[in-house]
Structure 1
Amino acid sequence: HGADLNIRDCDKQTPLHLASRRGHHSIVDLLLAQGADLNIRDCDKQTPLHLATGHGHHSIVHLLLAHGADVLATDIAGRTPLSEAKTEEVIMVMIGLTEDLNRRDQQTGNTLLHSCCLHGSEEAAKCLIEKGVRHDVKNKKGETALDTALANGHRRIASLLPGYLQSP
């Protein structure tokens, strides 16, 4: 009754951040039903989706994505929620519920595949490749996912890309 759903603690985290990080499905569900901001950012510019993916809470990830959480939200280090994903289950939920896997971040021009190549998320990169994402998309620096993987020393991911590159 009139409580501020987006009240913040000293780390600028809201009740939704805390419930998402700790895997409290019923609390996340209640907060979303009451209108909590699902893309709100903490002091590290992380959204509740970053925290749920990073802690392996696939049911929370599913719930947040079903309510429209931004999969391309970048934190202070430039990581997206997908690049925070640590388990195959979370990765599969995220990729399965993301409508446009080739969507580009407005600020960097990076796709989810660029993000995987930037942060070394090999399982997520494999899954995206299997889903048929485009590999020829260039970000605002003019780099493809392959360029990004090589520039960041992720040769195992880079080795997945040449065989899948679309011809010009």
Structure 2
Amino acid sequence: MQRFLLVIIVSSFIFGFSRMAEAVGVAVKPKEINLAVAAGEKAKTEFLVINSTGEPAIYQVILDGQNSAIKIQPSEFLLASGQSQIIKIAARFFWPKNYSGLISVIARPPGASGLITGSGVKLPIRIEVYGRPWILLSVSIIFCCLLIVFVVFLKKKVRF
């Protein structure tokens, strides 16, 4: 009797949770992103996400790391079988430096519940920011000087 109950419990566990781990496919073009931009200018580029399976999937595009200067649009979308979506990337950096990171493109089945295994691709991104930030520095200095002149002018006007 105990063996029979054990078989029923194990089989119900196997059949009850067998559809909880699912995965779908993703393809990305190009395989890496390399940009060069002058300091202070906006860098823009695009890449393509393709649903490479016979099922619809929800895709998430996430920048790994905490770089708020890089914006990704759209960051989540639904693709039917064989469809593709162009993802736009925009970035603006003010200091010369080489920035590098990874963009994760994750696909998961829509409406799935339980343990969901999403397949994904890591897309390397490298942005070389060149030039001297002297323009930004000079604009900041001019702004500060104008602010000082304005404050001095207000103080002279307020005196009795």
TM-score tier (shorter): under 0.3
TM-score by length of structure 2 reads: 0.21
Question: Which structure is richer in relative contact order (CA contacts within 8 A, separation 6 or more)?
Answer: 2
Larger gyration radius, structure 1 or structure 2? 2
Name the one with the larger helix percent: 1
TM-score by length of structure 1 reads: 0.21
Name the one with the larger strand percent: 2
